[in-house]
Structure 1
Amino acid sequence: MSIVLLVLIATVVVVAVVAQQRAQTRRRQLEAAELEKVKAFAAEDVTKFGEELQRLDVDVAGRELDEATRQDYERALDEYDSAKKAIDTAQRPEDIKQIASILEDGRYAVACVRARINGQPLPQRRPPCFFNPQHGPSTEDVEWAPPGGAYRRVPVCPADAERVRAGAEPDIRKVTTVDGERVPYWQGGPAYAPWMQGYFAGYATSALLPAFLMTSMMGGAWGGYGDGGYADADAGDAGGDVDAGGDLGGDDFGGGDFGGDFGGGDFGF
Structure 2
Amino acid sequence: MMGVVVLLLLVGLGFAVVAARRNNEKRLAAQREAELEPVRKLAFEDITALGVELQSLDLDLAGRELGPGENADYQRALDAYEAAKSAGDAIQRPDDVKHVTEILEDGRYAMACVRARVDGRPLPTRRPPCFFDPRHGLSTEDVPYAPPGGAVRDVPACALDAERVRAGAEPDSRMVMVGSRRVPYWQGGRAYQPYASGYFGHFGVMDMMFMGMLFGGGFDGLGDGLGAIGEGIGDGIGAIGDGVGDMFGDIGDMFDF
Q: Same fold (TM over 0.5)?
A: yes
Q: How far apart are 1:19 and its partner, in Å?
A: 0.7
Does 2:95 match 1:141?
no
- Alpha-carbon separation, structure 1, partners of 2:207 and 2:40: 28
Counterpart in the other structure of 2:111:
110
Distance 1:91 1:148, change over 3 A: closer
Distance 2:147 2:202 in 1: 25
* C-alpha contact 1:173 1:185 (8 A) present in aligned 2: yes
In structure 1, runs of 5+ residues without a counterpart are: 217-256
Q: Distance in 1 between matches of 2:215 and 2:167?
A: 27
Q: Deviations over 1:16-65 (max 9, x none)?
A: 22111110122112212322321111000011111111211122122222
Distance 1:165 1:46, change over 3 A: same
| Amino acid in the other structure paired with 2:17 | A
Residues 90-109 of structure 1: pairs in structure 2 closer than 5 A: 90-109=91-110
Q: 2:229 is matched with which residue?
A: none
Does the C-alpha gap of structure 1 residues 27 and 6 become closer, same or farther in structure 2, counting only changes over 3 Å? Answer: same
Larger Rg: 2
Residue 39 of structure 1 aligns to which amino acid in structure 2? R
List aligned pairs for 1:44-83, cutoff 5 A: 44-83=45-84
- Quick one: distance in 2 between partners of 1:166 and 1:261? 23
Residue 189, structure 1, aligned to residue 189, structure 2 = yes
Q: Superposition pairs for residues 1-269 of structure 1, below 5 Å?
A: 2-179=3-180, 181-204=181-204, 209=205, 211-213=207-209, 216=210, 259-260=213-214
Displacement of 1:122 after TM fit? 1.2
Question: Identity of paired residues, percent?
Answer: 54
Distance in structure 1 (CA, Å) of the matches to 2:78 and 2:175: 27
* 1:91 aligned counterpart, secondary structure: coil
Q: What one-letter code is carried by the residue in structure 2 that aligns with 1:152?
A: R
Q: Deviation per CA, 1:194-240, whole angstroms, max 9, x where unpaired?
A: 21121111223xxxx26534xx5xxxxxxxxxxxxxxxxxxxxxxxx
Moved more, 4-13 or 15-24: 4-13
Partner of 1:229: none
Task: Please state how far the C-alpha of 1:262 moved relative to its aligned partner.
Answer: 7.9
Kindly tell me the number of residue pairs found equivalent between the two proteins.
218
Q: Give, in whole Å, the separation in 2 of the partners of 1:36 and 1:261.
A: 22
Post-superposition offset of 1:143: 0.6
Deviation of residue 258 (structure 1)?
Answer: 6.1
CA contact (8 A) 2:186 2:213 kept: yes
Q: Relative contact order (alpha carbons < 8 A, sep ≥ 6): 1 or 2 greater?
A: 2
Aligned residues of 1:155 and 1:210 also touching (Cα < 8 A): no
The letter of the residue matching 2:55 is Q
Alpha-carbon distance in structure 2 between the residues aligned to 1:5 and 1:69? 79
Provide the C-alpha distance between the structure 2 equivalents of 1:142 and 1:259, rounded to a whole number of angstroms: 18
Rounded to whole Å, the distance in 2 between the matches of 1:163 and 1:43 is 27
TM-score (norm 1): 0.74
2:111 is paired with a residue of what secondary structure? helix
Determine which structure has the larger helix proportion and give its number: 2
Q: Note the alpha carbon deviations across 1:52-81, whole angstroms, 9 max, x for none.
A: 112111221222222111111111111111
Structure 2 distance, partners of 1:109, 1:185, is: 25
Q: Which runs of 5+ in 2 are unaligned?
A: 220-257
Q: Which amino acid aligns with 1:12?
A: L
